[in-house]
Structures are given as structure tokens and as C-alpha cells.
Amino acid sequence: MSKKLFLLDGMAMVYRSYFAFMRNPMINSKGRNVSAVFGFINALLEIIDKHEPTHIAVAFDVSGPTFRHDEFPEYKAQREDTPEEIRAAVPAIKEFLEAFNIPVLTKQGFEADDIIGTLARVAEKEGFDTYMVTPDKDFAQLVDEHTFMMKPAKKGAEAEVLGVKEVLEQWGIEKVEQVIDILGMAGDAADNIPGIPGIGPKTAQKLIAQYGSLENLLAHTDELKGKQKENVEANVERAHLCKRLVTIHTEVPLDLDPAGLIRGKLDEDKLGALFSEFEFTSFSKRLFGKAPAPAAHFAPPPPTDGQGDLFAFAAANPPPAVEEEPTYKTIDDVKHKYTLVQTLEERTALASNLRKNTAFVFDVETTGLDPRKDKLIGIAFALKPHEAWYVTLPPDEEERAKALRPFTEIFANEEIEKTGHNLKFDIAMMQAAGVEV
């Protein structure tokens, strides 16, 4: 039997689980939002059931500066505070992992990425096939013959496994290590890595396809033209710095070996008690064939019209069986903040806020359902539950194009994930208005 090591990117998985239920959060009978915990455990069980790892661990970031902050103090400096629901979910998830007998890995001064990268390289030498479970594109740089990237399932689909072939195709490169060059040149707004001004992911990919590496590009700046030549030549040191910042460290000093991460026997008593506390009836039935307590319930969404529910999108995994009468809420029962955006200053401020995040939800309002003839009249944005913005757009085509201008960069940025309901229609309407998504 082959040795299969699964390394989970803890915080990335927690965030993904939380936002998967952002529209319809799971609230248990105690009034606790258990969305992130449920989504994480569900994803974990899917991995165990479908892929049968022989070895497994979850890596988490720790508070405090890392070696990247030492080199670039502004690293991740612009990030907003972690939502309270996510902060509360992390200790609970670690309790569940202890009950599953799955190691939690941390290292002061390093990030989870570096822990995973280091273990993946050691594991390869010891004959493992390693699967890095994460939605984070940066991990593509680590993929090789025995190290794979596994993107968690979306909306009921199968998880996506990326090997060398898939990485080369998706990034349009000849060698996996060129991922680092592209990431460094384009920068990463989420981590406050500036990159080279004027160079986004697509331009970086074209330049690396032509020159092969950042270093070779910098040796041939005389072949560049115009503003691009000026930007590259003026930012040589920054380009080298950004490449170092996006490079995942693979030599973290760890006091463990992949062989020590063998999947152990779960603690049924502790796990059953946690299922009971969180009211995860479906998980208890799945593992033990019995329910410990009434299940958590979803706060139901309001009715939708023909175009689709504002901000609605499917959860990453199906909800547990509902065994209680649902609790219906009105807008008066939920703390909320909805903002109307009408001026250039307001649009610019909103776009700046969205640019700092790795993902956002959007929904369009239109005069009809035919992108060929109907017009865009507004766009709604959300970053977290119960807080949203609605951008009004003028009917005049030229004025509408001006109003959309602050948002064109974030919609075109492939590094910012866009989520929504009926996205095919929304994207078609945005493209008809001159905005690429």
C-alpha cells in the first residue's frame, strides 16, 4: 500500500468553510454560528472517506511576525481584522482535530505554507505521495512528480487535484518553478506584496513565457518598451524582494518526521461529546450511526425573484439533516450594515476596500435578462454576512463606463475570487458593460 500524506492548510480551509455558508450561516440552538467548524469537519471527512490517507496533519499560522516581516515590515500590514466567527472557530476546530487524533502543526516565525512545503519535500525523499489541501494558488510552486495540490470541492463537485501537467497548463509555463516568478512580478494585494507596478498576472505570464525567469527578464530590460520598461528598470530590487516573499520556505526546522504523522484511531468519546456540543447530528450518524442531539439549523434565506437572490450562493457541501423546526429571522433581528454607493469618492473607497481582500461576493441588477440588449443599473458587493454595498450606475453609457472604472482592476484580477448566484449571467452583463471578469 502506497504512503499517502495529506497536509491541510488550516486557516485557508477555515476561511473557505466560513464563506461557503456566508449567505445562510449555520446557527445552532445556542445561537452560535458553527458554519466554519461544520464546513471544515465536512471537508476533513470527505478527505478521509474518499482518499484514505495513511498519514495526515493540519498546519496553522501562529500570531507574531515571520521571517517575511523581518525582510518586509509591510507584509500583510493592510489586512482587516479576522471575523469574530472565524477567531472563535479555530480553537473548536483544533479540539475536533485532537479528537480525530490528527496532529496540528505550527512553528513560530513561519507560516503554514512553509511547514507544508518543508514536510512535502522531506516526504518525497521518504517515498510518500503528498497532497497539499488548500485553495491557495501559491502552493502550485511546490507541485512535482510526488507532490500534488488538492483544491477543496466547490458546490458539490469533486476536489481538483493538480499535478505537474495541470500546473503547467493552468499557468501557461514550461517549468513549475516559474510560478514563483509570476507571483513575485504580479504581487499579491491580499498579502500586501507590491509586485512590479503595471504588471498583473497575465502580463507576468507573458513575460515569463518570453524570458523564462525574472532574472533573465531583468537582464534584458533593453528589449522592453515604454512605461513597462520604465517600471521594470525602476523596480529591480523590489522585484527580487517580491520573489523572495512569495517563495515558500522548504527548510523549516521541524522536530518531526512525516512518518510520525500516521493517521491514528479517533477518540470516540471526545468526538461524540463535541458533536453533541455543536449539534452536528449528521456527523454523529455518519461515524457512529446515532444522533447525539438536535441538529444545527440554517437561518432561511428570503424568497427570490426570477433573477436570483442578492448575494446568494451555494454552500460548498450539503447541510446536515434538519431535525428541528427552523427559526425564522427578520432584518430587525440581525445586526446589519447596508451602504448605498453613489459618488466617485464612495466608489473609489469601496474598490480600495475590495482590493485588500482575497474574495468578494457580487450580484448585478439589470433592466432585463438579455445581455445583448439590456443594461447594467447596479452592482451589489459583500465581504461578510450582514454587511454589503450597492453601487448605483447611471443610465448614460459613457457615464456608466466612468462609474465602473474604479472596479475594472479588481474584476480582472485573477487572484481575487469572485462568488455569486447565477454567475454566468452576471459575468455576461459585466462584459457587455466593458468589464472583464
What is the average per-residue pLDDT within 144-159? 86
Q: What whole-number distance in Å separates Cα of residue 234 and Cα of residue 238?
A: 9
What is the average per-residue pLDDT within 85-110? 96
Q: Side-chain half-sphere of 197: how many Cα atoms within 13 Å?
A: 8
Which residue range forms the structural domain that includes residue 237?
178-246
Q: Which of 421, 382, 358, 386 is nearest to 138 (CA)?
A: 358
Residue type, 294: P
For residue 329, tell me if it sits in a domain. no
Burial 253-270 (b: 16+ CB within 10 A, else e): eeeeebeebebeebeeee
Residues 135 and 151 sit within 8 Å (Cβ to Cβ): yes
For residue 286, tell me if it sits in a domain. no
Q: Report whether pLDDT(376) > 80.
A: yes
For residue 392, tell me if it sits in a domain. yes
Q: Side-chain half-sphere of 123: how many Cα atoms within 13 Å?
A: 34
The CATH number of the domain holding residue 182 is: 1.10.150.20
CA dist list (Å): 418 to 137, 241, 361, 376: 15, 28, 6, 18
For residue 281, tell me if it sits in a domain. no
pLDDT at position 21: 85
Q: Report whether pLDDT(303) > 60.
A: no
Beta bridge partners of 7: 57, 132
Q: What whole-number distance in Å separates Cα of residue 366 and Cα of residue 4?
A: 49
Backbone Cα Rg of the chain: 23
pLDDT in tens, 258-288: 999 999 999 999 999 999 999 999 999 999 8
| 107 and 56 belong to one structural domain | yes
pLDDT at position 189: 81
| 195 and 340 belong to one structural domain | no
For residue 295, tell me if it sits in a domain. no
pLDDT at position 292: 58
Of residues 243 and 23, more confidence is placed in 243
| 136 and 224 belong to one structural domain | no
Cell numbers 517549468: residue: 175
| 26 and 132 belong to one structural domain | yes
Number of domains composing the chain: 3
Q: Report whether pLDDT(311) > 80.
A: no
| 143 and 84 belong to one structural domain | yes
Cell numbers for 202, please give them: 497575465
pLDDT in tens, 343-355: 988 999 999 889 8
| 84 and 210 belong to one structural domain | no
| 84 and 33 belong to one structural domain | yes
Q: 23-37, 221-235, 291-305, 378-392: lowest mean pLDDT where?
A: 291-305
Edge-to-edge strand ranges of the sheet holding 387-392:
337-341, 387-392, 376-384, 359-366, 417-419
| 227 and 370 belong to one structural domain | no
- Which of 211, 235, 261 represents a domain boundary (last residue)? 261
CA dist list (Å): 254 to 101, 114, 115, 124, 220: 19, 11, 8, 16, 40
| 198 and 130 belong to one structural domain | no
Q: How high is the mean pLDDT of the chain?
A: 87
pLDDT at position 323: 41
The CATH number of the domain holding residue 427 is: 3.30.420.10
Q: What whole-number distance in Å separates Cα of residue 239 and Cα of residue 224?
A: 16
| 233 and 254 belong to one structural domain | no
| 32 and 101 belong to one structural domain | yes
What is the average per-residue pLDDT within 126-136? 96
Residue 192 phi, psi (nearest 5): 60, 35
pLDDT at position 9: 97
pLDDT at position 224: 95
For residue 409, tell me if it sits in a domain. yes
Q: Report whether pLDDT(387) > 60.
A: yes
The CATH number of the domain holding residue 129 is: 3.40.50.1010
Consecutive H or E run containing 189: none
| 112 and 203 belong to one structural domain | no
What is the average per-residue pLDDT within 197-225? 95
pLDDT at position 302: 45
Q: What whole-number distance in Å separates Cα of residue 430 and Cα of residue 391?
A: 13
Q: Kindly report the pTM of this predicted structure.
A: 0.69
Q: What whole-number distance in Å separates Cα of residue 319 and Cα of residue 402?
A: 42
pLDDT at position 150: 97
Q: Report whether pLDDT(377) > 70.
A: yes
Q: Which of 80, 63, 86 is nearest to 17 (CA)?
A: 86
